Amino acid sequence: MKPFRYQAPGSVDAAVEAVDPMGIAGQGGAFLAGGTTLIDLMKLHVVTPPSVTDVKNLGLDTIEESGGEVRIGARVTMAEAAEHPIFVERAPALSDALWKAASPQLRNVATLGGNVLQRTRCPYFRDNVSPCNKRDPGSGCAAIGGINRLLAVLGTSENCIATYAGDFANALILFDATVETQRAGEGPRQIPFDDLHVLPEDHPERETMLGDDELITGYRFDLPDWARRSVYVKARDRESYAFALASAAVALDLDGDTIREARVGLGGVATVPWRAREAEDFLQGKTVSEDTALEAGRIAFEGAKGYEHNAFKIPLGRQVVAKAILDAAGMDISGASDSGAGGTSATSEGAN
Amino acid sequence: MADETMTFDQTPTQDVETQNKVASAERAAENANVGAAISRVDGPLKVTGQARYAADFSVPNPLYAHLVISTVGKGRITGIDDGAARRVKGLREIYSHANKLDNGSAPFFAAGGQAQQSWEPFAEPDVRFYGETVGLVVAETILGAREAAAELVFEYESQDPAAVFSASGVERQEMPDKSTTKGDFDSAFEAAPVKIDSDYETAPNVHNAMELFATTAHWVGDKLTVYVPSQWVKGFQVGLAEELGIDEANIEVVCPFVGGGFGGKGSLFTWVSLIAAASRDLGRPVKLYVTREQGFTTASFRAETRQSVRLGAAQDGVFQALEHTGEELTSRADNYFVNGQDATIRMYQADAIRTKLTTVHADRQTPGFMRAPAETPYFFGLESAVDEIARELDMDPVELRIKNDTMVDPVDGVPYTSRSLKECFRQGAEAFGWSDYTPEIGSKNEGEWLIGWGVATSTYPTQMSPCTVRIHLDVSGEARLQVASHDVGTGAYTVLTQAVADELGIPVEKVRVELGDSRLPPGTIAGGSISTASNVSAIMIACERIRQRLGLERGGDNDLAAAFENFGQGGIEEYAEWNPPGAKKNAPKTLYNGKVTIVGGPEESYTAFAFGAIFSEVRINRFTHEIRVPRMTGAFAAGRIMNAKTAKSQYLGGMVWGIGHALLEAAEVDPRTGAYMNDNISEYLVPVNADVPNMDAIIVPEVDDKVNPAGVKGIGEIGIVGVAASIANAVHHATGTRLRRIPIRPEDLIQA
């Protein structure tokens, strides 16, 4: 790790004033929350900030609800959010996505503000040696033509196929959330969560629309009643503590067996948190069945591009989406507020 | 011990009641050939953090070292830009081929030496594989060393490496002297009415022990103490003396605890003499921590294999012809191989048998030992093939294996010292519920889960090594055992404590065991499942002499105080050497020169193996294609079991690793560079607790009075053998898809 200057200002205003502009290649200053990505990459010398601005004294650590709107502070940890009754009972997809991510030790320190900014696990980005347009703009992409089993099939470009590796964001994206931010010399800014991440296209080094000195302070979104019928299905090589091969967050507003409205988010398969809007449109008004669910999955992956080792994610993702739809449809949410069990035990048995 | 005496707070019996709740322990307790299920005597030290691993030892005023590894897969270093690195605060020195340290090489371990590879780092500017140690940075702090290493720029003249089987530049070396032929395979296979001919592949695996590699070198005058994780302290001492050009009497290698060895700490790492030489050069102790990423390439690994099995049978299932051929990857310079066909051909009777071995030299590091080095990959091939022919024959796979069981080694025609394979299948089948097996593909499916059952034979050769021990007993009834053997997490401290207590008729609380220090009488390398059999056999000799001299009766109600009164001394000490039958007469003496002698397995007049049966249930989600193993039963017969609890732990550990071997573990080599692209434990996966919900290991009673005086067969490795095949066979039962390459992954089961 390169030596760096450490600071821990006492207010959001002071923090955004204090941070050194980050710069597109990550060689400026950085905000530090849980540090589960940042410190890791600093140890690998992939990121070498001259200064680190710790946000630990900024508060921003509560989950509140008023008038049907939920506000989450950026410093709420993954563990706190995962077990919060608002999510467990009324938006199980969010709770599930958190439970199924990382390990208890990581969830205890990682924050939701940092979580959505988690950097890719692409090994060519992390090795600090290979050509990588994200780490070293213009150097090329070693992942294309390399070991790319875990990399993306959606939202890729000829310059980058790095996967967005997080889980929470793929569920948050269902709820049309707003990201609250602040930057030096300006007031708070509101960004639709959908717009936060940007596709790699010709500039994989740019991952979000945040300014260099811009800090995520929290999220807010309306929690509709039908969010109770939501799940996060995550397919992975082992049962716990593994990144997704493909994951799907699904929320359904049902009228009997008929889908009034569907929300579908994808993870482990795309370069950014992914909303499958065409699949949502297709599902609207349809009757729940396995065929319908599989067709929605197929539509979600239209336009996907597979590479040497990851093409399986296209048929896998399709079926993961189908399972999430069937699992959500199969949930008994009449007693959800009593049981608090959420969607974690839902299965699609009987819907076959 | 180097600088301290360890005492164990022994709590041998408190939890026996708890243990008895475990079904297999109950079975074991009824069996006189199974030792008491006491808890580990070193457990309290470990769980309270008092057990000192190699990196835990403090030395005065150390410097810190960091390795620099190559970032090309083949080529030459043409220059080193160290300008920025030399400006890092606290930097002391940067070593490479350009300013070579004062050390040399020792012979390669597979050629009778100690070193992990035959060539010496820094001897030349050549780079032989990606991730090879090419530089060493020493600084006042560990962070300074790492920072300076990151600032160093090595310039290379790079060539395309041939790093994988399929690369055009690899060199094949046929090994006819390692082949076995019995009968006329070609005719027998041709004539067999039922036959299969299949190819199998296994992936490269990396040990990834919890304890990272590390080395500390501390010179006092011309005396050197080295703290290094080691499964062979005596060998490290001897090899290091050769590399440093000093008298081995001036070197002490200390390693009382090992945080997982798995074979990866059995041969002398290249960096140990670098650290010792750097310390000598700089006049200060030097500590090295090898990072997780560097551990993937700077130590050994389990190489990938390609195998082919041809198996022919009569209509009634009797095997008539078996051919098993293998290709194993190795480094350009070293011809390391495991030749597991030598074990697979001794599992079942067959009149015609043939094996063939080819090594494939590539631009990779030299492979080495990993748990059941030969059997783990090759039993995936054999036991998959047996399942395939069971399908062809329409026979129950358990019944087919029992039908082809043999009490005579099919290759050499000599008897097994004991062989309880049938009983393993009987007890395993009963515990697993195999009577409910239905052979039709998919017949166990439930809802969205495809469910399959699979079975495989497990085995490991019973091997032994010369061993020397020293035992001291005093009038207060305290005994001390000293031997430069190792507890790599297996429970050696505990079972050797039990052996001494048993032989001398004293409570286990009164026995102290000292291991892992090269100044102790030379013991066994912690490998090949030889430790318990060999150490206990030596302990028996020393204890018998102590009993004779004191006039004690084995198992008798002895009055120790009276015995010492008659003896006329307050204490007694015996040094004993055990040399296994079949070893050269001077083998214990050559142990002092670090020479490893291993006998057993197939020998001239007998064949000695432990056997087991592995039953697995897999569940595959038909949407997510996730493959899980909710249930596994292993039943093992391995002669005398010293401790039912630590034995069960060994079996289960092997079985858990087998799940990883079957479904998760693969070092992903980028063929363009030769780099491992998942060189961390986030992407190189091993099973977690959630992956092993219901595992049971059954200790099948077995008495073997021929194999060695201790009657012990060794259990460290057998648990993993056959597991991958039992899982692959279960996957076939669930899905109808026969997968012949491991790890088996979700994508292998997806129809696009």
The three state secondary structure string of A39-50 is HHHHHCCCCCCC
Which residue in A147, A149, A238 is closest to B687 by CB distance?
A238
Cα separations in angstroms, B414 against B71, B374, B403, B409, B607: 52, 22, 19, 5, 7
* CB within 8 Å: B678 and A147: yes
CA dihedral of B362, B368, B370, B376, whole degrees rounded to 10: 50
Residues 6+ apart with CB under 8 A from B10: B41, B497, B508, B509
Percent of chain A with pLDDT over 70: 93
Cα separation, B136 vs A37, in Å, equals 28
Out of 3.30.420, 3.30.43, 1.10.3470, 3.90.1520, select the CATH number for domain A5-56.
3.30.43
Q: Does domain B466-590 have CATH number 3.30.365.10?
A: yes
Taking each helix axis from N to C terminus, what angle separates B644-663 and B723-735, rounded to the nearest 10 degrees? 50
Cα separations in angstroms, B66 against B148, B256, B271, B273: 9, 24, 10, 14
B486 touches B231 (CB < 8 A): yes
What's the helix, strand, coil split of chain A in %, to 5?
30, 20, 50
Cα separation, B86 vs B388, in Å, equals 62
Residues 6+ apart with CB under 8 A from A278: A299, A300, A302
Q: Is the pLDDT of residue B2 over 70?
A: no
Domain spans of chain B, in order of start: 61-159+210-260+265-298, 305-462+604-749, 466-590
Which residue in A3, A147, A246 is closest to B677 by CB distance?
A147
Residue among A42, A126, A147 with most chain B CBs within 10 A, to mutate? A147
* CB within 8 Å: A238 and B750: no
Topology given in CATH for the domain delimited by A229-330: Enolase-like; domain 1 (3.30.390)
Taking each helix axis from N to C terminus, what angle separates B531-550 and B492-504, rounded to the nearest 10 degrees? 30
Which residue in B677, B745, B751 is closest to A123 by CB distance?
B677
Q: Is the pLDDT of residue B9 over 90?
A: no
> Is the Cβ of A27 closer than 8 Å to some Cβ of chain B?
no
Mean pLDDT computed over A272-290:
98
* CB within 8 Å: B752 and A127: no
Cα separation, A195 vs A183, in Å, equals 17
CA of B75 vs chain A CAs: smallest distance (Å): 16
CA of A336 vs chain B CAs: smallest distance (Å): 24
Cα separation, B465 vs B496, in Å, equals 16
Cα separation, B265 vs B248, in Å, equals 20
Query: Whose structure tokens read 């199969």?
Result: A330
A19 touches A51 (CB < 8 A): yes
Out of 3.40.50.2020, 3.40.50.450, 3.60.15.10, 3.30.365.10, select the CATH number for domain B61-159+210-260+265-298.
3.30.365.10
Residues 6+ apart with CB under 8 A from B602: B342, B346, B409, B411, B412, B414, B461
In chain B, whose CA is at the least distance from the CA of A2? Answer: B147
What's the helix, strand, coil split of chain B in %, to 5?
30, 25, 45
Structure tokens at A18: 């204090």
In chain B, whose CA is at the least distance from the CA of A126? Answer: B677
Neighbour count for residue A198 (Cβ, 10 Å):
16
Which pLDDT does position A346 carry in this prediction? Answer: 39
CA of A334 vs chain B CAs: smallest distance (Å): 24
Phi, psi for A181 (deg, rounded to 5): -135, 170
* CB within 8 Å: A127 and B677: yes
DSSP result, A268-297? SSBSS-EE-HHHHHHHTTPBP-HHHHHHHH
Cα separation, B447 vs B623, in Å, equals 11
> Is the Cβ of A319 closer than 8 Å to some Cβ of chain B?
yes
Catalytic residue (one of B147, B211, B328, B717): B717
B717 as an active site residue: the answer is yes
Q: Is the pLDDT of residue B155 over 60?
A: yes
Cα separation, A129 vs A39, in Å, equals 19
* CB within 8 Å: A235 and B625: yes
Nearest-CA neighbor of B262 among B297, B215, B213? B213
Mean pLDDT computed over B496-501:
97
CA B241 to chain CA centroid, Å, is: 25
Q: What is the pLDDT of residues A190-223, one digit of tens each?
A: 999 999 999 999 999 999 999 888 999 999 999 9
Q: What is the pLDDT of residues B315-338, one digit of tens each?
A: 999 999 999 999 999 999 999 999
CA of A238 vs chain B CAs: smallest distance (Å): 7
Nearest-CA neighbor of B97 among B120, B115, B122? B122
Neighbour count for residue A71 (Cβ, 10 Å):
15
Q: What is the pLDDT of residues B417-452, one digit of tens each?
A: 999 999 999 999 999 999 999 999 999 999 999 999
Q: What is the pLDDT of residues A217-268, one digit of tens each?
A: 999 999 999 999 999 999 999 999 999 999 999 999 999 999 999 999 999 9
In single-letter form, the type of residue at position B137 comes to V
B546 touches B565 (CB < 8 A): no
Upstream peptide bond of B521 is cis (omega within 30 degrees of 0): no
B152 touches B137 (CB < 8 A): yes
* CB within 8 Å: B687 and A147: no
Residue among A4, A122, A239 with most chain B CBs within 10 A, to mutate? A239
Chain A positions touching B687 (Cβ under 8 A) are 238
> Is the Cβ of A233 closer than 8 Å to some Cβ of chain B?
yes
Architecture of domain B305-462+604-749: 2-Layer Sandwich (3.30)
CA of A213 vs chain B CAs: smallest distance (Å): 27
Q: A-B interface: how many C-beta pairs under 8 angstroms?
A: 104
Q: Is B572 helix (H, G, I), strand (E, B) or coil?
A: strand
Q: What is the pLDDT of residues B190-219, one digit of tens each?
A: 999 999 999 999 999 999 999 999 999 999
Q: Is the pLDDT of residue B20 over 90?
A: no
Can you say whether the dihedral through the CA atoms of B216, B219, B222, B223 is positive or negative?
negative
Phi, psi for B20 (deg, rounded to 5): -65, -15
DSSP result, A319-348? HHHHHHHHHHHT---TTHHHH--TTTT---
Chain A positions touching B68 (Cβ under 8 A) are none
Residue among A124, A128, A161, A237 with most chain B CBs within 10 A, to mutate? A237
CA of B286 vs chain A CAs: smallest distance (Å): 20
Domain spans of chain A, in order of start: 5-56, 229-330
Chain B positions touching A3 (Cβ under 8 A) are 147
Q: Is the pLDDT of residue A352 over 90?
A: no
Which pLDDT does position A28 carry in this prediction? Answer: 78
Q: What is the pLDDT of residues B212-243, one digit of tens each?
A: 999 999 999 999 999 999 999 999 999 999 99
Residue among B296, B297, B620, B677 with most chain A CBs within 10 A, to mutate? B677
Q: What is the pLDDT of residues B100-141, one digit of tens each?
A: 999 999 999 999 899 999 999 999 999 999 999 999 999 999
Which pLDDT does position A348 carry in this prediction? Answer: 38
Cα separations in angstroms, A68 against A221, B131, B574: 9, 55, 81
* CB within 8 Å: A123 and B146: no
Percent of chain B with pLDDT over 70: 96
